[in-house]
Chain A
């Protein structure tokens, strides 16, 4: 267990970035850079995640630096909060560990025209209705079943397939990262085991840190950007955090098994076998990318179906259509993914494979991949926090392109183990404590709320402060939870 603190060098570059020099470990091809500030630095040193940043710097073809965001914490091989871009033209590799088990885990935010002051007394009943409606928890399937050909289409086309089935609108597609579909997905390379795990799980929340929250816009920091996104003070929104469910876990698991002997085959020396990788352009690399893209498409479809059920539930509860409740999708972001993107590195434009593991794309204003509606303000970035404090909406800023391959943080990051959190909650009623904070919480499992209690997480606002100061993403609005549905 690598829970001991990091004793290696961390050199300050500026007020929001620290360096691990290449001299720290032989074999580092680039330096490590961690976006952090003095307040969070001690927490960063508490585990071996900086060591993992240094390990990732060994990967063939890595560009600029091995990066980590302020919500960095220990992960498998790669840290959570890690960003790594590799150039296939320089032997650059793709690593399943750089994406993680929950392929395209991500977050979406849905607005409404409801205001907290109008519906406050109804919140408990609304959360009960959502809790009954949204499939969540261990071993729970959902109402949407996709058979052989349907599942293949869903994996190939993502949210576009759901649009053809009347389960997504053109606006939903437009406001989803990559329009809810990565091209060149290879459903035929998704194993039968993964397909089986995915057949009844699309449109289900899962458990652990996944959630559906009813939130209120608590403070606005950028009036113009908030206006463009249709956000205003006191407004009710819904945030959904989930990923590719069992299908994605199995795709990653299959790839890690298939990759066991691949590094040796290509003469790649690694400091940790969990960094197992293959050249992007190799048959093994392309096979993983094809299956990963199919799993990513499944994840976008999953969040779309979770949102669809939420809209139906709101419509039934308030006796009005979801359109009249103006429940449009603000945006959907992926935070566990690898993508082929163009970036300018040392003045040269390159096509690179960007791994974001617990990190969110944050393209600035004017970038062609930002939807037209947001082109002037930058790509919306949704950052979930813990269920007692806050979540954030940011927009991508210019420096993200030169400092972090167009990337920012993804959340708060745990500070307390699950067993410690359960121990800490003994004799307490977390649901009542949350109620005292104005949050109605419902969870399926006995330990769900205890494990996910606010104290188990870093304060997400401190994390957001760092990326705001580093000019990777700018604060737009803070949202506060008023109701939580957990697995």
Chain B
């Protein structure tokens, strides 16, 4: 699950998950909830496979969200379902979604970038916690 965090100029996404992989899934859902007023309207009809190399948890999360933002910005694709698998090189992932529909998905804010500020991925007593701030 994810929630939005208060921030003066930008928006933060806080994610709690039982499994490490689900942190990545829910952070991605959080990103599209920032971008779109109606992320629940996305149909999972098109798939994109991604390989994100890296060893550090926080930088992997950053690079994963970065890649999704780049695909959104250039190919105008929006996603609602994600499968994430940890590999020895980083993560292998699949994102399911469709082309952006201005009317149905109602884009609401442009995300310029995923930032390092306050970037956090850590173990908690009952799972995992991540925090990331996006620049808008």
User: What residues of chain A have their CB less than 8 Å away from a CB belonging to chain B?
Assistant: 1-3, 47, 73-77, 80, 101-102, 137-139, 193, 196-197, 206-208, 246, 249-250, 252-253, 256-257, 260, 273-274, 414-420, 445-448, 451, 487
Contact = CB atoms under 8 A, between A and B. Distances in A.
Given A197-B74, A208-B136, A447-B37, A138 B109 contact: yes
Contacts of A420: 6
Contacts of B45: none
B112 A197 contact: no
B74 A196 contact: yes
B12 interface: yes
A148 to B, nearest CB: 15
B109 A208 contact: yes
A59 B99 CA distance: 44
A252 B69 CA distance: 14
Contacts of A1: 5-7, 12, 118, 131, 133
A290 B35 CA distance: 31
Interface in B60-77: 63, 66, 70, 72-74, 76
B90 interface: no
A139 B116 contact: no
A445 B109 contact: yes
Interface of B: 4-12, 35, 37, 59, 63, 66, 70, 72-74, 76, 100, 102, 106-110, 112-118, 131, 133, 135-136
9 contacts: A73-B9, A101-B135, A249-B113, A253-B66, A419-B11, A420-B6, A445-B108, A447-B109, A451-B109
Given A1-B12, A139-B76, A445 B6 contact: no
A1 B11 CA distance: 11
A345 B54 CA distance: 44
Contact of A253 (B35, B74, B113, B117): B113
Given A138-B35, A139-B73, 8 more contacts: A73-B9, A138-B107, A138-B108, A139-B100, A246-B74, A249-B113, A417-B6, A417-B8
A417 B7 contact: yes
B116 A273 contact: yes
B5 to A, nearest CB: 6
Contacts of B12: 1
Best-surrounded residue of A197, A260, A417, A419 (most CB of chain B within 10 A) = A417
Contacts of B72: 139
A249 B8 contact: no
A206 B73 CA distance: 12
The 4 closest A-B pairs by CB, nearest first: A138-B107, A207-B110, A249-B112, A445-B108
A247 B59 CA distance: 22
A445 B102 CA distance: 10
A75 B6 CA distance: 15
Contact of A74 (B8, B73, B131, B136): B8
Contacts of B131: 1
B135 A446 contact: no
Contacts of B100: 139
Best-surrounded residue of B35, B76, B115 (most CB of chain A within 10 A) = B115
B117 A76 contact: yes
B11 A418 contact: yes
Contact of B73 (A77, A246, A419, A447): A246
Contacts of A448: 108
Given A1-B118, A197-B73, A419 B135 contact: no
A230 B34 CA distance: 43
Given A138-B110, A250-B70, A445-B108, A3 B135 contact: no
A84 B110 CA distance: 28
Contacts of B35: 138
A447 B108 CA distance: 7
Contacts of B116: 76, 256, 273-274
B8 to A, nearest CB: 5
Contacts of B4: 419
A415 B4 CA distance: 18
B113 A47 contact: no
Contact of B110 (A47, A417, A447, A487): A487
A3 B7 contact: yes
Contact of A416 (B8, B11, B108): B8
Contact of B9 (A80, A273, A447): A80
A76 B100 CA distance: 30
